[in-house]
Amino acid sequence: MTESLLSVEGLEAWYDESHILHGMNFTVGKGEIVTLLGRNGAGKTTTMRSIMGLVRKRTGSVRFGAVETIGLSANQIARAGIAFCPEERGIFSSLTVKENLMLPPVVAEGGMSVERVYELFPILKARGASQGTKLSGGEQQMLAIARILRTGAHLLLLDEPTEGLAPVIVEQIGQIIEKLKEEGFTILLVEQNFRFAEAVGDRHHIVEHGQVIDSFERHEVEANREKITGYLGV
Amino acid sequence: MAFFDIPLPVFMGQLLIGLINGAFYAVLSLGLALIFGLLNIVNFAHGALYMVGAFVAFLLLDIAGIGYWPALLLAPVIVGLFGIVIERLLLRPLAELDHLYGLLLTFGLALLLEGAFRHFYGVSGERYAIPDALQGVFNLGFMFLPVYRAWVIVASLIVCIATWLLIEKTRLGATMRAAVENADLVRAFGVNVPLLVTVTYGFGVALAAFAGVLAAPIYSVNPLMGSNIIIVVFAIVVIGGLGSIKGAIVSGFLLGVCEGLTRVFWPEASNIVIFVVMAIVLIVRPAGLFGKAA
């Protein structure tokens, strides 16, 4: 494994009184695509939201590069260079496509130029003046990914980017994720769709009851297919 | 010349009074709408802060000899800073609780402010002179239009349009609109949303203070001036659609005029016409004229 960019140790999190994460442990190496797999309610999204600082009550350690982020607020964590693409895309209906795209502030140098973003996602240029939520589901997903590429963040948290999308769109999203990896982005991916996850992921962590209960490198997937599908209940 | 048997000067006179009231309604409901959008708080202190704005202008002149034009800028800045302190010290700790707590707190704050100014200045009101440059009247042929009243309408329109442009056409405005929809996600993009909330509250109450300074030469500077107007302004915000910027501005002017015209045709009804319109709007379009259905 390469040098780790994100390292999560003993992460626990609560929503009000419910204890959701019970000590998550995993690392994401620089330039890797790492997936969190698991059934509904296992704690994958809560893990993402905890890393991002959106779950108020959390303990343990989340180190991003040399920075310990467990005590930081969401905006400070984002400024440190982590970008978030939430479940259900989070496109703002009161903003145009262009405004949605330009919304996240630049947090570091080296982000994609707007021209490059338009090259990857030509539809966003053509539909720039439309209301954000007037785009199709697939286009909204493209927009949700596109807008965090401009910011200069190097770690992207993608929460179920294929949810509810047609297979042809899922394939496009897969190609985009591959391209992002080539460009040096590090990606932590939450997925329900295991076929998609295994196609793009370098490493997979199985999450159950708020813990990582098993992990597989890309080359170990084939030999453990039955075990993995057992975990996921597919 | 007459209009529906009403002499034109009377008709136009009431229309003008309506427009002037509408100008105050618009600036006040605009601030309320901004605050409601981002803080989810119905700012009951808004009327009191409008009154404080007028008093700050009065005191600037009375104590420091600072006149109308600097006060038009200074009073909103002073009241805006006061609003920032209120938000940080009092409203921020309530942000996670039910909206009712914010409403109660701002209601209490309104009573406190009003009580304090009543204690020191009574209820008879203080006179504030129209600045020299805005003395006099325009002769429109069919009526005389006091220059100051024309200025109130123009100044309110400019402030309303500028605020609308800020919200709808700038990057800061887009960030505010996004934060109204999903504050968490905007934070997760690296925007300091709590700071944005504080500044928005300060800006919203600064608008109230601006209206207060505009009002000072027309009405007397009176501790009760806020509570007299604020109930009507709440009705206007509801009619326009809670949190809608455009709704607040348009219904502010519209209902001011509506009130003025009612005074021509059925004077007894003019005090309640806005509430009748509110009732009808709530039945026909519960989200308000410009509000998005929930």
Task: For residue range A95-119, list pLDDT tens digits in order.
Answer: 999 999 999 999 999 899 999 999 9
pLDDT band at B2 (very low <50, low <70, confident <90, very high): low
- Is B184 within 8 Å of chain A by CB? yes
pLDDT band at B242 (very low <50, low <70, confident <90, very high): confident
Q: Work out the number of other CB atoms within 10 angstroms of the CB of residue A164.
A: 12
Buried b (16+ CB within 10 A) or exposed e, B229-249: bbebbbbbbbbbbbbbbbbbb
Q: A231 near A214, Cβ under 8 Å?
A: yes
Token output for B131: 């600045």
Does B171 have pLDDT greater than 80?
Answer: yes
Mean pLDDT value of segment A3-15: 94
Share of chain B above pLDDT 90, in %: 80
Mean pLDDT value of segment B191-201: 97
Identify the residue whose tokens are 């609780």.
B97
Mean pLDDT value of segment B110-127: 94
Q: Do B189 and A79 touch (CB under 8 A)?
A: no
Does A2 have pLDDT greater than 70?
Answer: no
Measure the CA–CA gap between B257 and A67, rounded to whole angstroms: 59
pLDDT band at A214 (very low <50, low <70, confident <90, very high): very high
Put residue B141 in one of left, alpha, beta given phi > 0 → left and psi -120 to 50 → alpha.
left
Q: A59 near A226, Cβ under 8 Å?
A: no
Q: A92 near B182, Cβ under 8 Å?
A: yes
Identify the residue whose tokens are 């309320």.
B32
pLDDT of residue B11: 86
- Is B186 within 8 Å of chain A by CB? yes
Mean pLDDT value of segment B98-108: 93
Least confident of A96-100, A185-189, B16-20: B16-20
Q: Do A84 and B180 touch (CB under 8 A)?
A: no
A chain contacts of residue B192, beta-carbon cutoff 8 Å: 75
Sign of the dihedral defined by the CA atoms of residues B106, B109, B113, B119, in that order: positive
A chain contacts of residue B193, beta-carbon cutoff 8 Å: 75
pLDDT of residue B3: 61
Model confidence pLDDT, tens digit, residues B178-187: 999 999 999 9
Residue B139's H or E segment, with its range, is strand B137-139
Share of chain A above pLDDT 70, in %: 99
Task: Please name the member of A78, A103, A148 whose beta carbon is closest to the beta carbon of B175.
Answer: A103
Does A76 have pLDDT greater than 90?
Answer: yes
Does B26 have pLDDT greater than 80?
Answer: yes
Residues in chain A: 234
Q: A85 near A157, Cβ under 8 Å?
A: yes
Interface of A with B (CB under 8 A): 52-54, 73-75, 77-79, 83-84, 86, 90, 92-95, 99, 102-105, 107, 148, 151
pLDDT band at B129 (very low <50, low <70, confident <90, very high): very high
Task: Please name the member of B171, B178, B184 whose beta carbon is closest to the beta carbon of A54.
Answer: B184
Measure the CA–CA gap between B236 and B232, rounded to whole angstroms: 6
Measure the CA–CA gap between B263 and B14, rounded to whole angstroms: 7
**Gyration radius of chain A over CA positions:** 17
Token output for B179: 């934060």
Does B213 have pLDDT greater than 90?
Answer: yes
Measure the CA–CA gap between A55 and B82, rounded to whole angstroms: 32
Does A216 have pLDDT greater than 90?
Answer: yes
List of domains in chain A: 1-81+154-166+188-233 (3.40.50.300)
In one-letter notation, the amino acid at residue B289 is L
pLDDT of residue B196: 97
Q: Is the pTM of this model over 0.80?
A: yes
Which residue, among B32, B57, B72, B239, has the nearest Cα to B154 in the 3D structure?
B72
pLDDT of residue A16: 87
